[in-house]
Amino acid sequence: GTAATTGASTAASTDKGSTLNVVAVTACPTGIAHTYMAADALTQTAEGRDDVNLTVETQGSSNNTPVAQSVIDAADAVIFATDVGVRDRERFAGKPVIESGVKRAINEPDVMLNEAVAAAKNPNARKVTGSGAAASSSSEEAGGQLSWGKRIQQAIMTGVSYMVPFVAAGGLLLALGFLFGGADMANGWQVISTEYSLTNLPGHDVEVDGATMTFERSGMLLYIGAVLFATGQAAMGFIVSALSGYISYALAGRPGIAPGFAGGAIAVVVGAGFIGGLVTGLLAGLIAMWIGSWKVPRWMVSLMPVMLIPLLTTLVVGLAMYFVLGAPLAALMTGLQNMLGGMSGSSAILLGIVLGLMMCSDLGGPINKAAYLFGTAGLSTGDQASLQIMAAVMASGMVPPIALSIATFVRKNLFTPAEQENGKSSWLMGLAFVSEGAIPFAAADPFRVIPAMMAGGATTGAIIMAFGVGSRAPHGGIFVLFAIDPIWGYIAAILGGTLVATVLVITLKQFWPNKTIQEAAAKNEKEKAAAAAA
């Protein structure tokens, strides 16, 4: 995604008469692949046009440089290609805006640039309003462009994207705690991490709650393991609050953060888990947004975001959770956990198949993200069933890029030159669990690629569940093997799914040929032959 931010400082100054300045923001829930693919698609398309001068701000998960305010001020229109709320949206207030999901910018960048040009020239075009992280403009000027359903989906995805780093840090630290301190770490980590120190290391026998426990490890390893485990537990303790707080933030802006976090903490206390966090986040965001829309006297305006909105919203969410919602949500969560915990044999394998199909059906789209949310949110409970669901989700998502990469090496002539080029690097994306590496293949030939990938994903999900493989890490693929148990089962599942997906995609392309791809491949072969003859 490096091309994406290059024009930041110079774009505004190079105005070429009739050239319009457009600023785009791209962002996807995990902030990894789609964010930068959309940025590259828009940048490359704009470079081939004379009428647009584009600057892109990628709001991904890594270090992002915001576009200078002077560039935004000089912009004639803005494009928001995001599946989550736009950060610091108020910087763009008053600018004509084109808004869509991030996938549209990858698939039809030219159309979006045309729409931005049209919006810049239209005095009645929809404008950005400054309130809220994912706030769209008021309904009468929005022209119904972002529906309530879409805004709530965006808010949930914003919550997930902010929650994942807590899960990643916490889950991997817990795995390291087990690695250093041994498998019985979970029983005595609190006592060991607080009552011992580097100068007073624990032995094998430690007193826990009045009873003596014997640990398999002792001394420095046991102490370091306990400290890592305690740090991981602290990070994991924030998962539900972060999910709730940032869902609320996406709907109501900064005033929604405190009530959202408080609601998430209450959800944990009453036992409503991540389902409670989802509900409190939406509730806090909508209430804070509503209170923020009140017409208040001038002297109260400055008190609203800092004091009154957080106070009133937290009060309402707290009362609602304790009086009404807490018990039914806790019962729902307990029911879900019991159902998952009781799954064994064929029912567990069936769940693995369903998760595998979901992960590979739209490769990073809403269905894939729903399965991913189910996997990561369950990690907050830490039970074996949730760890297996996470393993099935991650392993299935790794299959498509690896399988397609292998297919391009095995049967080159079934793929276009561009696909062959993509195949050289997509295996690495697959190993790192970036399913989006398969998108170029699926976009070019969906009817052959997607069913083959879904079959591979379903195979992997089934094998993971059959072997009872669990993962404490929500991301990282092959690079977090120490957080996965048993490792052999995980690798077997990925190999099995990859084999199925590769064989199927080659078979489908062979016996049900895609004319366009065949022609492109034949043309390429002719050019090569001509070049060799010359």
Residues catalogued as catalytic: 28
Which three-class secondary structure state does DSSP give residue 512? Answer: coil
| Structure token pair of residue 73 | 């001020």
Task: Provide the 10 A C-beta neighbour count for residue 500.
Answer: 20
Helix boundaries (H) for 302-411: 303, 309-320, 326-341, 346-361, 366-378, 384-410
Place of tokens 């790794």: 398
Phi, psi at 85, each rounded to 5°: -65, 150
Task: Provide the 10 A C-beta neighbour count for residue 231.
Answer: 18
Alpha-carbon span 200 to 185, nearest angstrom: 18
Instruction: Give CA torsion, residues 479, 480, 486, 487, to 10 deg.
Output: 10
CB 260 within 8 A of CB 281: yes
Alpha-carbon span 284 to 287, nearest angstrom: 5
Short-list 130, 41, 118, 52, CA closest to 81: 41
Alpha-carbon span 2 to 534, nearest angstrom: 37
| Structure token pair of residue 269 | 């206390």
Short-list 388, 386, 387, 356, CA closest to 371: 356
304 Cβ partners below 8 Å, 6+ apart?
A: 255, 291, 292, 294, 296
Q: Which residues pair with 52 in a beta bridge?
A: 20
Helix boundaries (H) for 185-292: 185-195, 219-236, 239-252, 257-269, 273-292
Which class for 209: exposed (0-12), middle (13-18), buried (19 or more C-beta within 10 A)?
A: exposed
Short-list 415, 409, 406, 420, CA closest to 497: 406
How many secondary structure helices (H) and strands (E) does the chain include? 23, 8
Which class for 50: exposed (0-12), middle (13-18), buried (19 or more C-beta within 10 A)?
A: exposed
Q: Would you give the distance in Å from CA 259 to the centre of its chain?
A: 23
